Chain A
């Protein structure tokens, strides 16, 4: 009997498989398809202080073995998330969840995180620092060690639960940013967010996506994600949630060998609503195939 349990900052998960934010809504849509309680946890739809419609459509473009999205953080705002979405999820999911939070100023992040931190359902806060800072010419918080650290500090000051910073891969040195977050008090790192990408329609000669560019995800970016998880694992002593193109149980093991303690599955959910349960079902056999008894034993095993 293999052991698939892993522990993130004191929170023990039955398995390391977590649907990634933005690909799973607030979970309950999937509860019609399978018992979502088999999931290790759920990273909920990115939540902001105020309601957001997001970007104009088309928001989606297909790529070879992947896709681009430019949804633009559509969500009903933190108050409605707490009063409407989380109670709906609580009816069908009994484990602690990961609250994914975005903001456009340091105060935004602190405000939303403080509210989400107070929710009993929330086990971990995952802070998406890929958003543009409206007070700094729209530059993403996640692109410099200083601004990523500033968000981390502000959130840590108003919360009690573990804070994971979700990093953008669209940077020259992800390691320095991860280290800055760790020094600022982050309890863990999630990586990677989507890669900035673009497609152009040959017929119209215009970008496919209304917002021109968007986040590239799917199995095509898996090697980039593995590389960055590997690099960050070498540099920090806090747990890593690895993500980016994960679609199979073998991918989960590879991501963990690179240094991830848990793994998120994103774009795969959109193509195959049963991607996560299939990975969870396959995991024990793949572990046995590679002689893995305890999944925790292989974290960072490639270093």
Chain B
């Protein structure tokens, strides 16, 4: 973890209520895909935890949905403005278990952390399939970005306005996979847990106080004992999760 000041390189709307922001600064504490950053915003007491979509040696890309006053303020920030950020938080995805053809499943704003993971898995020589689930066509983002990485991409929308009609599990019969990685809402997680043929890893969301393990605000009970979503998580293995 590191705490420093980052400069906004860009901040643009990419779908309904969804923004992509690129930050420039210290990325040395980010070790793997699926970690998150915690952003301080003027006028708000607690930081905003947001997953890392992608990173390199000097930039971090985040994708966030405007869901409240904090993310609303974030969406109005301009290029050149500064943000106080805690970076490199949490334990991300472990790709060593992925097998030869992993499946990535993202729901809504659960899609972003899978992007860097997809990049990593393809670099490791894996055949990656991706299922992206949204409610409506105007919410869809990053379909082409995942395709550009070389993944097999399937998009589902609940109302059928884009791609396959239904939920992410409606696309399961189209893919052969050795393992899965997912991030998204709880109902989607439960459906995946019931439908998946293999083991996999789930990245959880929780209201956090600190984001770095101090306050115990985000603890989940697991079969391996109490785990903090911000510290031992956000990624948990299928077998340890208590639904």
Residues of A at under 8 Å CB distance from B? Answer: 22-25, 29-30, 32-33, 45, 53-54, 57-67, 69, 71, 74, 208, 218, 267, 269-274
Give the Cβ gap from A51 to chain B, nearest Cβ, in Å: 9
Q: What is the total number of residues of chain B having a CB less than 8 Å from a CB of chain A?
A: 25
Identity of the chain A residue whose Cβ is nearest the Cβ of B67 in the assembled complex:
A203
Q: Contact between A60 and B219 (Cβ–Cβ < 8 Å)?
A: no
Quote the shortest CB–CB distance from B3 to chain A (angstroms). 6
Residue contact B219 to A67, C-beta cutoff 8 Å: no
Q: How many contacting A-B pairs (Cβ < 8 A)?
A: 89
Q: Which residues of A contact B217 (CB under 8 A)?
A: 57, 59-60, 69, 71
Taking CB atoms, residues of chain B closer than 8 Å to A218 are 45
Q: Is the interface of B mostly helix, strand, loop or mixed?
A: loop
Q: Is B40 an interface residue (CB 8 A)?
A: yes
- The reply to whether A61 and B45 form a contact with Cβ atoms under 8 Å apart is no
Contacts of B226 in A (CB 8 A): 53, 74
* Contact (Cβ within 8 A) A23 B221: no
Q: Which of B19-70 contact A (CB under 8 A)?
A: 40, 44-47
Cβ of A60 and Cβ of B45 under 8 Å apart?
Answer: no
Question: Which residues of A have CB within 8 Å of B40?
Answer: 271-272
* Residues of chain A within 8 A of B218, CB atoms compared: 57, 59-60
Interface residues in B196-229 by Cβ distance below 8 A to A read: 206-210, 212-221, 226
Asked if residues B209 and A60 are in contact (CB atoms below 8 Å), the reply is: yes
Q: Which of A54, A64, A65, A270 has the most CB of B within 10 A?
A: A270
Top 7 nearest A-B pairs (CB, nearest first) are A270-B210, A60-B217, A58-B207, A74-B216, A60-B209, A62-B46, A60-B207
- Known: A29-B214, A33-B1, A65-B45. Contact between A53 and B219, CB under 8 A? yes
The answer to whether B214 and A24 touch across the interface, beta carbons within 8 angstroms, is: yes
